[in-house]
Structures are given as C-alpha cells and as structure tokens.
Structure 1
Amino acid sequence: MEKCPISPDERLVKSWLRGRSKCTEAAYRSDLSGFASAVGKPLADVTLEDVQDWYGSLAGAEASKRRKLAAVKSCLRFAAENRFIEHNVASPVRPAKVQEDLHERILSEAEVLGMIEGEDDARRKAVLRTLYLMGLRNAEACGLTWRDLTRKKQGGTASIFGKGGKTRHVSVPASLWRQWEETRVDKRADAPVLIGVDGRALNHEAISRIVKRAAKRAGIAAPVTPHWLRHACASHALDNGAPPHVVQAMLGHSSLATTTRYAHVRDGEGTGDWLKG
C-alpha cells in the first residue's frame, strides 16, 4: 500500500517543530491546526487579513489567545526565513494590550499548600509539588524524564529543556526526589518522571486537570492553571528571601526584570524558608 504523500505545509511544520519537546510539539500542532481550519487555505496563500480575522475571532483567556498568535507567527516567520513563503504576513499583528493582572494570578502559600495537602493520590501530589517547588512550565513537567536528572547527596538537579530551546539546571528538593522514586514504576532512563495510573507520561491536558481539581478541592474559585503554580513559586520564593538572580535562573527568565515583577505582589511572611510543600 502506497503511503499518502506529505503536504508541503506538513513538511514545513515538521521542520519547524524539530527538536522541541513532545508536549510543546503537541501544543503547537494544536494551535496551528486551529489556525489552518479557520483560514481554510495553505500557508503559502495566507494573507495578513486572514491572520487578523482569525486572531479577532479567538475566544477565551487573553493568555491563551496570545500563545496561539505567538505559535502562528513563529511558524510563518520560519516559513519566510526558509523561503517557503515570500514574507511573514503575520509580522504586523500584535496581541491586544491588557491591563497587568499578575496580582490576580498569584496564589497565597496557604492556598498552594491547601491544593497539595488536599490531594490524596501520590502521583497527582507529585505533579503539584513539581510544578510549585521547581517552577516548571506545563510542557517542561510532562516532558521530564529520569535521564534529565542527576542525583546529589540532598535531592538532585534536573536539566530542563525549556522555552526558546534553552537548557537550565533546576535544583530538586530531597523530599520531592523521594516522592518521585516512590511513584516510579519504569526503571528505564527515558521513563517519564510524572506518570498517570497507567505508568505513562502525563500530557498537557492531564496536568491541567490535576491542577484545576486540586484548586477546586481547596475552595479556590479562580480558574487556576499549571502556570499559576509557576507564578506562585517565583513570588513566594522572593517574598521569603530568595535572591532574584537565583529565582531568575531557576525559572529560566531571560531578563531579571521579568523575575522582579513577582516581588511583593503579595506580602511574604519572612519565614526564612523560601518555599514549603
């Protein structure tokens, strides 16, 4: 049986996504698929008006809309740079400016601990603690494998291949490492660290569901996402005395200004411990 030929668009997308983590690839493919369905034409025929109309029709949270636009612009920029299209028609499109609402997305330490302590399942609790204590993005968490880890006397270090194709090294608390080992079922180096009941890696949507259910159990009415735990990690660490450059390196921020946005968003308690959980 002959294989179906790969379309020019699919060939381009495969090249654009090469080297990215599986979770990032899945998220970007989903964003681009939604765009392609909306415009109904090959990428080479897409116009600026198509991109503007599509972006204007998007519903949902601003952060989600901005991410989708960023994915489409990145793909079209790659296409232009590799002469698949004449020029990047999406270049002039800018995301809508919104009022800074970071303070609305910072959970208190009590709220985060309530989410963690209210989770009875060891695997799901490990997910919550990983997102919070290490400040990982959702895609970074679901792509984490045992090969990425280096054991130390106390805890260890994780090599995180993150946003922008950059690798950073994040400290792993000893208690979290022990929890990972207790829930581990696959001893292979490429086995995922965060797993579901079937022992397989959790995907982007599964981790989101775990976080949302934990927030609901803790009585938090806000629409909490995995990224909120990353925000909380930065804010609580700074409030409790962590040097900004340490938090910057841990979260992989390219600019210290990005990190210091989290300082004093909520008053810290000065406990001396940067994070609990």
Structure 2
Amino acid sequence: MVAEINDFIIYLREIKKTSKNTEVSYQRDLMQLASFLEQQGIREVDKVTKTSLTSYILHLEKEGKATTTISRCLASMKAFFHFECKEGRIQKDPAELLKAPKVEKKAPTILTVDEVNSLLSQPGGETPKELRDRAMLELLYATGIRVSELIHLKKTDVNLSIGYITCRDEHKERMVPFGKVAKLALSAYMERGRVYFLRDQESPWLFTNCNGKSMSRQGFWKIIKFYGDKAGIKADITPHTLRHSFAAHLLRNGADIHAVQAMLGHSDMATTQMYMNYTQGEDLRRSYTGAHPRG
C-alpha cells in the first residue's frame, strides 16, 4: 500500500494544492493504517475491506485515542480510498459507509477581562523579546486572528496609520482592525525590537524567532504558556484561548455578530453564534446570583 499512499500524497500536493500540514497529517495516518493492515496479512490495497478498516478503528479506540484523532484518521481513509476507487485501482470503496465517532464539543476556554489584562501585562520590560512577545499577545487579543495567521503576517500586512492588518489564506483575504493599545505595542516592537532579531538580515515576516527566522506555532505556544503560568492563570491557555476571549468579550459588550463573524473569518454564522450563547449564559448566571436569596 505504500506506493499507493505516496501517489495519493503527490495528488494532494500537485492537484489539490493542499497545505503541507494536511499532507503530513494524511501521510502519517495512512502509513499507520498500512502498518496495522500488514500485521493482519493485508498488503495490497484491493484486499482491504470495510471489516478490516472497522477493526483498525476499534484498535484505535482500544489504544485510548481521542475521538477527534479517530475522526481525523477516518477522514484520511475516506479520502484515500475514494481516490483509489476513482483511479480504478479498486472496484468498491471499503471506507464509503464507515461512520465517524461522535465528537463531544468542549466549551471553549474563555478568560475574564481581568485574566486577559494580567496575561498581556506579563511581558512588561523593554528587552527585544519582551517587546515582541507583548506585541504578539496584544495583536492576537485585539484582532482574534488564528495563531497560523499571526505567525504568517508580513510586515507589509500591517497598516499602523489606520490600525488594520490584512490576513490571507488560499481563498480570500480580510482586513481586521486593532486598537490603540495594540498599536503602541506594535510600534514599540517594530522600532526597537524587530531589528534586534534580524541582525541586518532581510525578512518579510512581521514576527520572527530569536534567529530572525519565521516564528513557529510551537514557538508561540511556548510563549503564551510561559506568560499564562507567570500570570497565575489556572485555565489551560492555548493561542486559541485569546481568539475565543476576543469574540466573547466583543459580543458581551454589544458588538454586532456579523462584524465579529467577518473579523474572525467564519464562513458559517453558527460558529460565531457559539460565543453569543456563552455570553447569554454568563448574563443569566450573574442575574441569578445577584437576585436569588441563596445565589
């Protein structure tokens, strides 16, 4: 099956133009499947059946894999065997009728305004690293952009004079405003911090690591984890936590939900509505606590 998997990955890269992360994820999932099937004596793609794929899913469940991980593996299998069927290598798609396990949706972690203020105040000095970290955290909370969008921002994507950034993906771009606090942090970083990391090198990226290269997701995850611990915040903070908090705080303070949807880049209003449900629940809780004799 390895040759067929490699052909599928080439198809994803050259025809579907998928991202490198997607490509790596599909290849990892499918190679693990191939290894399992080989242990069962199945080495050829046309010998794979629905029963053998079901056995693999049960194997993943017994190993304690998360529901989201199993769902992702299933999506990889479905895409691969659909491709094999379309290419005429197999007559019947063994993954077509497989059902994904139900994913329990966890409520997003949303910080209070005080917690956000505490987090953002942690890089309080004037070293280049603190200037960079403060600018990244302030911009993330000010715009609600994804961490992938943050680390791929170019210097030319920032308009300091009018307070906007431009975010791009494969299909569209959107402009997101930011406020005066983020503007001050960005200005300080661009004037006194960025040049330190570049060391006379040229780089299109707005934020870089200590070697002047583009910041990685893992690198920024460590930054936000460090400052979260330093602030004494008990919640499990990830880069997405500030995105969740941005949306919830805007809606809580009366922002138009369509404007928030546009800033977040959500194609589906239902995704943004989740934050509205959260804010309404918090309002109900406060009303109850304030009015009930035993609240």
TM-score range, shorter chain: 0.7 to 0.9
Query: Which residue of 48, 54, 57 corresponds with 1:52?
Result: 57
What are the superposed Cα offsets for residues 157-183 of structure 1, whole Å, 9 maximum, x if unpaired? 31321xxx4323132423454255233
Aligned to 2:127: none
Q: Distance in 2 between matches of 1:138 and 1:94?
A: 28
Within-5 A mapping of 1:1-277: 7-17=3-13, 19-20=17-18, 25-26=20-21, 29-30=24-25, 32-33=27-28, 36-37=31-32, 39-40=34-35, 44=45, 48-49=53-54, 52-53=57-58, 55-56=60-61, 59=64, 65=69, 68-69=72-73, 72=76, 75-76=79-80, 79-80=83-84, 83=87, 86=90, 87=93, 89=95, 92-98=98-104, 100-102=105-107, 105-120=109-124, 121-147=130-156, 149=157, 151=159, 153-161=161-169, 165-173=170-178, 174-175=183-184, 177-179=186-188, 181-182=190-191, 183-185=193-195, 191-263=204-276, 265-266=278-279, 267=282
Matched residue SS, 2:241? helix
Q: Distance in 2 between matches of 1:265 and 1:206?
A: 30
Q: CA deviation at 1:33?
A: 1.7
Matched residue SS, 1:181? helix
* 8 Å CA contact retained: 1:135, 1:234: yes
Aligned partner of 1:153: which letter? S
TM-score normalised by the chain length of structure 2: 0.69
Aligned partner of 2:123: which letter? E
Percent identical:
23
Segment of structure 1 superposing worse, 236-245 or 43-52: 43-52
Segment of structure 1 superposing worse, 249-258 or 74-83: 74-83
Unaligned 5+ residue runs, structure 2? 125-129, 284-295
More helix by share: 2
Unaligned 5+ residue runs, structure 1? 1-5, 269-277
Q: Distance in 2 between matches of 1:78 and 1:129?
A: 44
Give the superposed CA RMSD: 3.6
Q: Distance in 2 between matches of 1:141 and 1:84?
A: 42
Greater relative contact order, per chain length (Cα 8 Å cut-off, separation 6+)? 1
Q: Distance in 1 between matches of 2:166 and 2:134?
A: 19
